Amino acid sequence: MPEIKENNFSEIIKKTITEATRSIAEEPELEVIFSDEPPNISGKKIKLRDPGASLNKSELAVLRGNADLMALKIKNHDQEIHRKYQPTSPQAQKLYDLIEEARIEAVGAEDMPGCATNLNARNIENYRNSTLNNITHKDEAPIGEAISLIIREALTGFAPPSNTRKFVDLWRPHINEKALEELKKLKDEIHNQELFASQIPQLLDALDIASSLGDSDPSSSKNEDGESELEGSEEENTEISDEFDPDESEVIDDESTEELIDLDDLEGADEEGEESSAPDSSGEIDDSKNLRKQDYKIYTNQYR
């Protein structure tokens, strides 16, 4: 491969991601801006972090994950429907937004499998500095955070980031007992936002969210890139496993590497938005994307 100047390298990445983002959103005139600001979406304008002159493979996956999610929101999210079923309390609204975001991720991962790895890389990055696993007692664990992680797992098939799994398992039996049927119904309706949104209040009621959430914030452990963007500021067993053991299953490894990408890493970015290989049921993915298999478990079929 001929030597690529740093500025050309950055421009090639921007061009590739811009084209893929427009393709996923089905908006050929979508404006994609690269800046130092956190990723956000406003109307038909998307802002992404500037990739700079060098980028490792994990950073590229996160950049693509943010781009993919915002493109999928433009394509699959109707804000009027979202407002129609929105809860009144601020805490329930945050959780409602996160559940809708998980739906959008699930649709994207199912319809365009190449998005799946990028979306999961984004979520892992959002929780990279989380200390949730330090919580050892259920009564100290914020239920809103646990619900958002378990619902994303149920809808997308991706297990929670490894540094949140012990925390999630504190609440998993309670959520299974109270809201298993509601989770299955949500899973069945990911392609119909109206039906999906209309069932979220039933899920919140089943989990007694009004009294349980209190002042907790379902996104409190996320970094600024993980903030909900649904308001335009800018996830055949019959239950979720109580016995999920990361050491006995396969999951995309949370650890990033510092290996820099080259232009060959962008060859998978096609016009259908399938920028990278999606994990299959065994967790196998394209090693060239530098996301190794380890401790991964698919839950996609549990709610059918």
- Looking only at the bridges linking them, the beta strands covering 31-35 and 45-49 are parallel
In a domain? residue 270: yes
Q: What is the pLDDT of residue 138?
A: 86
In a domain? residue 275: yes
**210-231 pLDDT, tens digit each:** 645 444 444 444 444 434 445 4
Q: How confident is the model at residue 270 (pLDDT cuts 50, 70, 90)?
A: very low
Q: How confident is the model at residue 272 (pLDDT cuts 50, 70, 90)?
A: very low
Phi, psi of 293 (to 5 degrees): -90, 135
CB-CB contact of 132 with 140 (8 Å): no
Residues in Cβ contact with 92 at an 8 Å cutoff, skipping those fewer than 6 apart: 204, 209, 210, 213
* Domains: count for the chain: 1
Nearest-10 crossing angle of helices 57-76, 114-126: 110
Q: What is the residue type of 257?
A: T
CB-CB contact of 180 with 239 (8 Å): yes
Q: What is the pLDDT of residue 165?
A: 96
In a domain? residue 1: no
**85-121 pLDDT, tens digit each:** 999 888 889 999 999 999 999 999 998 888 999 999 9
Q: Which two tokens stand for residue 265?
A: 């890493």
Q: What is the residue type of 79?
A: Q
Can you tell me which residue has the tokens 């990055």? 125
Domain residues for the domain of 274 are 6-303
CB-CB contact of 132 with 167 (8 Å): yes
